[in-house]
Amino acid sequence: MNVTEDLSIISLVAHASLLVQLVMGLLLAISFISWYWIFRKFFAIRDARLRTDKFELEFWSGGDLNALFQSAANDRHNAGGMERIFEAGYREFTKLRARPNLDAATIVDGARRAMRATYQREVDELESHTAFLASTGSVSPYIGLFGTVWGIMNAFRGLSNVGQATLSHVAPGIAEALVATAIGLFAAIPAVVAYNRFAHDIDRISIRWESFMEEFSNILQRQTR
């Protein structure tokens, strides 16, 4: 540990002990994946919101339900969540209505169950991988702290070989070790912020979908008479 050296980030990382370097590598990987999912989820949630807006506009503009269903069914791979809920419910509704001897409540209940199943699938799809962000936010500071503690332990152990102990003997080692905490925090802070933001956004979208289900059930019930 040369005292007169300059502490650039590269020398800091290069001089750290193997375990600290491993911790830094792990944290960098976690940080990369977490940023990847932050952007993926950001785009996905924005896309879901835009499609929901678009479908709500189409649905409440008073178009023919059959035509709407046809267009949703033809383009099912490119449809938004609300469109799929509508499609599932309407498909079930038409199937049940074709059967004889079924009363209105049963038909609407069947349609609602189909819609709920699709709704849960869609919400689950939106929420996927946000748990990863949550655990990144809570765990990566600890991983960084582990690397730091280990690095500081090494720095102090090296200090025991030096006759006259001064701060400049420990400082580089501690600085190296603290880089691990810094990387951990860099991974954790955006993950926590993004997780909270996404949880809120997903809540709002699912509430819109749920209220749409209720309203659509009412419309179907009116059509059975």
Partner 1 sequence: MHDFALKRPQPGKWQSAALAVGMHVLLGLFLYYSVSWQTRKPAAVQVELVGSLPPVEAPAPAPVPPPPEPAIEKRPEPVVEPPPPPPPKPDIVIKEPAKVKPEPKVEKRPEPRVEKKPEPKPEPKVEKKPEAKAPVPPRPDPRIEQALQEKLMKESLARENAEQMRRQAAQEADLIARLAADGARSKARDSWAGRISAKVRGNLVLPPGVSGQPEALVSISLLPDGSVVGEPRMKRSTGNAALDAAILRAIVKSSPLPKPEDPAAFERNVELIFRPLEP
Amino acid at site 154: N
CB of 201 to partner 1, least distance (A): 14
Does residue 103 belong to the site contacting partner 1 (CB under 8 A)? Answer: no
- Of the residues 14, 25, 36, 67, which one makes contact with partner 1 according to CB under 8 A: 36
- Of the residues 9, 131, 162, 207, which one makes contact with partner 1 according to CB under 8 A: 9
CB closer to partner 1 out of 125 and 218: 125
Does residue 98 belong to the site contacting partner 1 (CB under 8 A)? Answer: no
- Of the residues 66, 74, 166, 223, which one makes contact with partner 1 according to CB under 8 A: 166
Structure tokens that stand for 142 in this block: 């600890």
Structure tokens that stand for 98 in this block: 């074709």
The answer to whether 139 and 31 are in contact (CB under 8 A) is no
Distance spanning both ends of the chain, measured CA to CA? 86
Looking at residue 142, the DSSP 8-state letter turns out to be: H
Does residue 37 belong to the site contacting partner 1 (CB under 8 A)? Answer: yes
Return the closest-CA partner of residue 151 out of 186, 187, 179, 182: 179
Identify residues 105-164 at the interface with partner 1 (CB under 8 A).
118, 121, 125, 164
Residues 6+ apart with CB under 8 A from 113: 92
Structure tokens that stand for 29 in this block: 């990987």
Q: Which positions lie near partner 1, rule CB under 8 A?
A: 3-10, 12, 28, 31-33, 35-40, 42-44, 46-47, 76-78, 84, 88, 118, 121, 125, 164, 166-168, 171-172, 175, 186
